[in-house]
């Protein structure tokens, strides 16, 4: 503790340190959640003092987190407000549930899990139980369990039931009203909202029986998230049937949980931990993502390998933090992130127009891989082969979207402009120069050499370049990069607001 620190500050810091250890929360997250100031703990540790009003706010926040209504042992009471029952079906996508549970727990959602017998072939109840912190149920006729927590009680004590992966078999059981195992019996016994995340081979999904069951479930008011188009776990298989990714699952769960809480006004702590109010609530965020296609003639175009995944993940996380998000998306084969306004465009010029139309914004993140050049004059008809000479393409420069928005007039320039720099050599050097040349506040730089697998892949290794210096992050999946970046952006916005 700092010598000479005022009493209020010293006591508060000591309370916070105990809380951090108890809940395993990072100081940044705590700051964001407690008073929307990511620097709170750092400042206190550095010897800054705190006003009584702030101290009261932070203490109220900690008290709320420690309140018995959120504790594990409140089972006898009425339905705890944020308790979710996760029914895990027998598909390869069951592994995604482990990450889903972690993300839900981070958001103060209590998760209880039921696993089908088939699900236990893919992931273990031990692992699921360790993550939920609760016993995992999988037997309908387990006497102890029936005495302890039976299927009716499991159904009653959840505010929301999520079925993920929802196998073809589970969908059929639900549609047919079967109740011959714990999962289907719980689903029959519930009057709570049910969200299913189907996952199966595309032929199973398109099978008329599955489609009939899906139509029946829709008519019964069951909510769906996905499936999505993508590669299957089976080698060489792709198509519609892939389970939604964790950010999409979270985005679908959030409004249903909120509705179940009866909270129709300000959303409860979703995103940056459990704060009263979300770290980006009321903020407008603009994100560009994907490649652009620059036509040569009606059938040919210039393009690049960008998948749009990183930008879409950023949009999703900004949304999860409460922001109103516009995603300007080039031609990418990815689904629209839930709750985000998506404007699909083809060319760089269209992307610029859509980005400008989305202003004003508090943060603009330019993750799109915009084609630097387009052909000077697009051929009206398909260019034919077999002419005397090979066709010559004259290229001209496309507009620089990042630079244009970063130099927009005061009032239109977003207070935080973040560009991406995809390089294959001298990554840091080029990225630092790009930050200065474009007038961006931050640059997220990554090495997209083919051997990195970043272009089109699911992981990313980035360096965050700001006016203060360079921060190199470890290799992370794109979702985690997005989460960290948006949490940093929320902190930065809070600091900008506090300074103005
Ligand atoms: C390796 C493997 C992967 C499977 N993946 C899926 C899947 O993704 N979706 C699906 O509907 N069924 C899948 N199945 C079939 C289900 O596991 C099977 O229909 C099982 O009875 C489902 O049980 P449950 O619905 O009770 O979980 C898979 C089976 C195997 C052996």
- Would you put residue 19 in left (φ > 0), alpha (ψ -120 to 50) or beta? alpha
Q: Is 118 in the pocket of ligand 1 (CB under 6 A)?
A: yes
- Predicted pLDDT at 266: 35
Q: Is 278 within a domain?
A: no
* pLDDT tens column, 206-226: 999 999 999 999 999 999 988
Contact assessment for residue 341 and residue 327, using Cβ atoms and an 8 Å cutoff: yes
Chain centroid to CA 234: 26
- Please give the angle made by the CA atoms of 374, 377 and 380, to the nearest 5 degrees: 120
* pLDDT tens column, 325-382: 999 999 999 988 888 899 999 999 999 999 999 999 999 999 999 999 999 999 999 9
Q: Is 267 within a domain?
A: no
Whole-number Å distance between alpha carbons of 396 and 326? 28
Q: Is 191 within a domain?
A: yes
Q: Is 269 within a domain?
A: no
| Strand bridging mode 228-231 / 324-329 | unpaired
* 112 and 50 assigned to the same domain: no
* 58 and 111 assigned to the same domain: no
Q: Is 71 within a domain?
A: no
Chain centroid to CA 495: 23
Q: Is 25 within a domain?
A: yes
Q: Could you tell me the CATH number of the domain that includes residue 313?
A: 3.40.50.10300
Residue 295: count of CB within 10 angstroms of its CB: 15
| Domains: count for the chain | 3
* 206 and 60 assigned to the same domain: no
* 111 and 167 assigned to the same domain: yes
Name which of 394, 391, 374 is nearest 382 in CA terms.
391
207 annotated active-site: no
* 41 and 90 assigned to the same domain: no
Q: Which of 87, 96, 118 to mutate to test the pocket of ligand 1 (most atoms within 8 A of CB)?
A: 118
Q: Is 288 within a domain?
A: yes
SS (H, E, C) 392-452: CCCEEECCCHHHHHHCCCCCCCCCEEEEEEEECCCHHHHHHHHHHHHCCCEEEEEECCHHH
- Predicted pLDDT at 56: 76
The pTM (predicted TM-score) of the whole model is 0.47
| Rounded (10°) CA dihedral 174, 216, 164, 203 | 110
Q: Is 268 within a domain?
A: no
Contact assessment for residue 240 and residue 205, using Cβ atoms and an 8 Å cutoff: yes
Q: Is 116 in the pocket of ligand 1 (CB under 6 A)?
A: yes
> In angstroms, what is the span from residue 203 Cα to ligand 1's centroid?
13
* 94 and 30 assigned to the same domain: no
* 31 and 89 assigned to the same domain: no
Q: Which of 201, 304, 398, 460 is catalytic?
A: 304
Q: Could you tell me the CATH number of the domain that includes residue 192?
A: 3.40.50.1950
* pLDDT tens column, 232-256: 777 777 778 899 899 889 988 988 8
Whole-number Å distance between alpha carbons of 170 and 88? 10
Could you tell me the residue range of the domain that residue 32 belongs to? 7-66
């Amino acid at each position: 503790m700092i010598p000479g620190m005022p009493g209020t500050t010293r006591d508060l810091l000591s309370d916070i340190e105990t809380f951090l250890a108890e809940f395993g929360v990072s100081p940044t997250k705590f700051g964001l959640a407690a008073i929307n100031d990511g620097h709170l703990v750092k400042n206190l540790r550095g010897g800054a003092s705190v006003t009584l009003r702030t101290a009261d706010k932070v203490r109220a926040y900690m008290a709320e987190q420690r309140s018995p209504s959120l504790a594990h042992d409140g089972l006898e009471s009425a339905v705890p407000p944020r308790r979710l029952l996760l029914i895990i079906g027998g598909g390869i996508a069951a592994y995604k549930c482990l990450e889903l549970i972690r993300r839900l727990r981070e958001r103060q959602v209590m998760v209880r899990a039921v696993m089908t017998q088939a699900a236990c072939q893919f992931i273990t109840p031990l692992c699921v139980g360790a993550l939920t912190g609760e016993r995992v149920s999988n037997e309908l006729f387990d006497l102890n369990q029936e005495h302890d927590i039976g299927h009716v009680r499991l159904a009653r004590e959840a505010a929301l039931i999520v079925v993920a992966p929802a196998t073809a078999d589970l969908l059929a059981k639900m549609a047919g009203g079967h109740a011959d195992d714990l999962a289907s019996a719980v689903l029959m016994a519930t009057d709570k909202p049910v969200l299913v995340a189907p996952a199966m081979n595309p032929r199973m999904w398109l099978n008329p029986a599955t489609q009939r069951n899906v139509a029946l479930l829709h008519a019964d008011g069951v909510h769906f998230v996905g499936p999505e188009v993508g590669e299957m776990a089976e080698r060489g298989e792709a198509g519609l049937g892939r389970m939604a990714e964790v950010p999409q699952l979270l985005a679908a769960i959030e409004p249903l949980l909120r509705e179940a809480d009866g909270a129709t006004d300000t959303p409860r702590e979703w995103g940056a931990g459990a704060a009263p109010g979300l770290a980006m609530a009321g903020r407008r965020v603009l994100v560009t993502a994907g490649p652009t296609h620059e036509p040569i003639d009606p059938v040919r175009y210039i393009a690049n390998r960008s998948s749009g995944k990183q930008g879409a993940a950023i949009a999703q996380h900004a949304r999860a933090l409460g922001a109103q998000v516009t995603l300007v998306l080039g031609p990418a084969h990815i689904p629209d992130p839930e709750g985000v306004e998506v404007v699909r465009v083809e060319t760089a010029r269209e992307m610029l127009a859509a980005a400008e139309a989305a202003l004003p914004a508090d943060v603009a993140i330019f993750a799109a891989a915009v084609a630097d050049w387009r052909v000077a004059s697009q051929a009206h008809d398909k260019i034919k082969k077999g002419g005397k000479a090979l066709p010559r393409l004259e290229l001209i420069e496309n507009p620089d979207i990042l630079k244009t928005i970063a130099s927009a007039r005061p009032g239109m320039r977003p207070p935080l402009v973040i560009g991406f720099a995809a390089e294959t050599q001298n990554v840091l050097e080029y990225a630092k120069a790009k930050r200065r040349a474009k007038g961006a506040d931050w640059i997220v730089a990554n090495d997209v050499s083919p051997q990195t697998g970043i272009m089109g892949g699911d992981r990313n290794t980035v360096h965050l370049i700001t006016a203060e210096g360079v921060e190199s992050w470890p290799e992370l999946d794109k979702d985690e990069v997005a989460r960290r970046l948006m949490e940093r952006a929320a902190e930065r916005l809070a600091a900008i607001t506090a300074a103005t």
